[in-house]
Amino acid sequence: MLFWVHAAVAYLVYRGISGGPTDRCDDVPIFALFGGALLPDLVDKPLAFVLPSLPSRSVAHSVFTAALVVLIVFYVTKHRARWGVGAAYALGYGSHLAADLVDYLFVPEETLLFLFWPVVTDYHHVETVGDLLALLSPTPYVLGQTVVTILGLWLWMADGMPGYPSTHRQ
């Protein structure tokens, strides 16, 4: 799934679970939500280009890493009486992994095995910048991701752009 779609998916899920506009809450859970949603690609994509032996979905896309990171975040946020921030982070991280599973349905080369890295390491992955750019070709799947992104962005804006500095809001 394209990088920015993860933020939209996370916000749509968060908004669905919260049951209404999120502009009533403080911005910290939204930062945590987007941080969790974007972290796997922010870690794994650059690592794959620097260390070509690593697949583009490896360390941060693994359920083992996800569980460890989420437990640490919950521990820290619980001790600071900010459990909601930890929950938002976990939701963002979980929505990222779940959204990447959708690739399995639409991209024949994709597999679910990336979730079990480093136990399983032999699976398809993006190896070059060219491979990454090829993901932007106008297929029905990419167009669907575009619709999801527009919907998420529209809803976020309609909710008052939570997480965006209030001095820039209208």
User: What are the helix (H) ranges across 27-167?
Assistant: 28-50, 63-79, 83-106, 129-134, 140-158
Q: What are phi and psi of 101, to 5 degrees?
A: -65, -25
Q: How many residues does the chain have?
A: 170
pLDDT grade, residue 170 (50/70/90)?
A: low
Instruction: Classify residue 137 as exposed, middle or buried by CB count within 10 Å of its CB (0-12, 13-18, 19+).
Output: exposed
Select the more confidently predicted residue: 97 or 110: 97
Q: CB of 6 within 8 A of CB of 145?
A: no
Q: Which residue has the higher pLDDT, 99 or 126?
A: 99
Q: In this predicted model, what pLDDT tens digit does every residue of 116-143 receive, in sequence order?
A: 888 887 766 666 667 767 777 788 888 9
pTM for this prediction = 0.87
Q: What's the alpha-carbon Rg for the chain, to the nearest Å?
A: 17
Closest CA to 92 of 161, 26, 42: 42
